[in-house]
Structure 1
């Protein structure tokens, strides 16, 4: 397997504030279980915090990679030869492509807490997906990696 000229990897981690919310969820569970005694209250604190933290961690575990001549975004794996020219979307344009410009057939890997994105047209005539919408904190690096991988193929 050939590696792309500019390998790229990004993990779309949840923002720090979500970890605070996890603690608040645990605190809420502790308050709910307080009438049952100290041990259930502590169990609610630990259990509620743990469940909320696992949920935040799993939601932020998705990765975008350009490697081996393919773009891997979450569960999607598309060869770079089936992709067109990537377009960087600023906050306003990204919001437009998430809402009124969106196509229901598109693959959306979006995270609302990441304001910028990249839109990549799918040029494979047998693929019904018109484009990939990828939330990314580093759109310039992703586009550069895609260009390098397409040039290497």
Structure 2
């Protein structure tokens, strides 16, 4: 059985950029109280880190199901899987994208997979999913399609 799991954690630069709440809190509250400024800065930054961690979606291929965030679909309903990176990924997320596509995109992850949906009743023609390991995700989906032989 081919299984795949990935959590779309924010990149380190996201945590660094959000750390700007620390000096901002200190700047606002230092004239009032040094202690209040430090406590507020710690609480705000801790809250941001917690929200980023809790809202990071998971991608999983297991038991014939692809799960991406809160969405789930049977591998049997998936068609061609294509991997994109760099300018090609940007084009797939932008000018080439069908507005009916289902998206799980994170701006801090540059590579994506585009997965065709073969179910005629599904309004989305394909899914676009951000992933740091597009080839591994594609291989897991392809591997899940093949029946395991007992011989």
Using the size of structure 2 for normalisation, the TM-score is 0.91
Match of 2:30 among 29, 34, 47: 34
Q: For residue 10 of structure 2, what is the aligned residue in structure 1?
A: 14
Aligned partners of 2:44 and 2:50: how far apart in 1? 10
Contact persistence 1:10–1:65 (CA under 8 A): yes
Match of 1:62 among 57, 61, 66: 57
Instruction: State whether structure 2 residue 137 is matched by structure 1 residue 134.
Output: no
Using the size of structure 1 for normalisation, the TM-score is 0.90
Aligned partners of 1:23 and 1:90: how far apart in 2? 28
Instruction: State whether structure 2 residue 88 is matched by structure 1 residue 113.
Output: no
Aligned partners of 2:28 and 2:139: how far apart in 1? 51
- Give the gaps of 5 or more residues in structure 2: none
More helix by share: 1
What displacement does 1:21 show? Answer: 2.5
What displacement does 1:52 show? Answer: 2.1
Match of 1:102 among 71, 91, 97: 97
- Give the gaps of 5 or more residues in structure 1: none
- How does 1:38-57 map onto structure 2 within 5 Å? 38-57=34-53
Which whole-Å deviations, capped at 9, do the CAs of 1:121-151 have from their partners, x for residues lacking one?
0000111111000111111111110011111
- 1:65 partner SS: strand
What displacement does 1:6 show? Answer: 0.7
Which whole-Å deviations, capped at 9, do the CAs of 1:93-126 have from their partners, x for residues lacking one?
2101111111221111111111111100000011
From the superposition, tell whether residues 27 and 152 of structure 1 become closer, same or farther in structure 2 (CA, over 3 Å): farther
